[in-house]
Amino acid sequence: MKARLVIICIFLLIASGTVLLNSCHKTPLSYYRPTPINFITPSGFPIPVYNFQNNPITEESFLLGRKLFYDGRLSLDGHFPCSSCHQQVAAFTTYEHDRSHGYNNSHTLRNAPGLANLAWYPVYKWDGSASNLEDISLAHITAPNEMAESMNGIIAKLKYDTAYQRMFQAAYGAPEVTQVGILKALSQFVINLVSSNSKYDKVKRGEASFSTQEQNGYTIFQNKCNSCHTEPLFTDFSFRNVGFEIEPFLKDFGRMRVTGDPKDSLKFRVPSLRNVDFTSYYLHDGRLSAMRMMLEHYRNGITSSPTLDPLLSNGITLTDTEENDIIAFLRTLSDSSFINNPRYREP
């Protein structure tokens, strides 16, 4: 009888030990339960063109991307995180700078575009040279005049960081810091930067009303600007020559650098006007510091060239009052909740 009890006890000990070992072995996978984020299209917006199936967004990957976005270790000397050129206070462009600063006292070629509503962009960058967000992040990280780092260098700096190990585990099911994981997480953060709560949006939703001047400006805008800056995203994503002379030092010919076609000379993407009051300086090289300067250009400063957009062959006729009214309307595109959203801030 005693022998039988001993055998039973031994069997139970072995069985419980096996269960314990198995449970320990399965622990890393047991807490890999990423939380899907339901990307919500704002009222009045078209369907996004971004392919969410290629990079399904989750809360864990979004948080990882946010941490990476603000981490200086993604640059060679630690001083140039993504957020150094894309600052939330300026709707994720560079605050009151013409062109951004980079590694070793360098300047970038172009004015950093604001990061908002990227899910609706068919291509990216001023010249349309990037077709996906991962390529953009990699290009900025490795550019010698921007972040000047390599992916191997970043991985070497982050792989022993226990906070990153936990976040990679939560986002991707393994603690290893990888290039694919870094680029996908950065994409998930920026694709979630949606701006859709300006006064203009509230008016469209019936929650606010334009002032008389704003309404006058909106009417003028619809008649004279809306063909390129199409609502509700305030860009048609086309590439156009709007009559600026080539900057003699930068010699940036825009879209022609991508296509090699002289017909694309001096053509740049039509920028979105959302948050335009926050995103000075303006134009692809930031040569204009104020919205009024841009309107004055369309009134009196257009330079003719073979690729000038036909819509601007005679400029845009505006009175001083109409110019003031348009500026009043453009300020209704400012989304203060976007630039103050705690979810987008540095963690």
Q: Is 86 annotated to bind ligand?
A: yes
Which H/E stretch holds residue 240? strand 239-240
∠ CA 58-63-66 to the nearest 5 degrees? Answer: 125
Q: Is 24 annotated to bind ligand?
A: no
Q: Which residue has the tokens 């946010």?
A: 66
Residue 188 DSSP SS3 = helix
Given a contact cutoff of 8 angstroms between Cβ atoms, the answer to whether 69 and 149 are in contact is no
Q: Is 228 annotated to bind ligand?
A: yes
Give the span between the Cα atoms of 23 and 16, in whole angstroms.
Answer: 10
Q: Which residue has the tokens 């309307």?
A: 329
Q: Is 9 annotated to bind ligand?
A: no
Q: Is 225 annotated to bind ligand?
A: yes
Phi, psi for 283 (deg, rounded to 5): 85, 165
Q: Which residue has the tokens 């995203």?
A: 233
How is residue 56 written in tokens?
Answer: 């399904």
Which H/E stretch holds residue 58? none
∠ CA 162-167-168 to the nearest 5 degrees? Answer: 95
Q: Is 85 annotated to bind ligand?
A: yes
Residue of 49, 241, 234 whose CA lies nearest to 127: 241
Given a contact cutoff of 8 angstroms between Cβ atoms, the answer to whether 346 and 70 are in contact is yes
Buried b (16+ CB within 10 A) or exposed e, 257-280: ebbeeeebbbbbbbbbbbbbbbbb
Given a contact cutoff of 8 angstroms between Cβ atoms, the answer to whether 104 and 114 are in contact is no
Which residues line the annotated binding site? 82, 85-86, 225, 228-229
* Residues in binding site for heme c: 82, 85-86, 225, 228-229
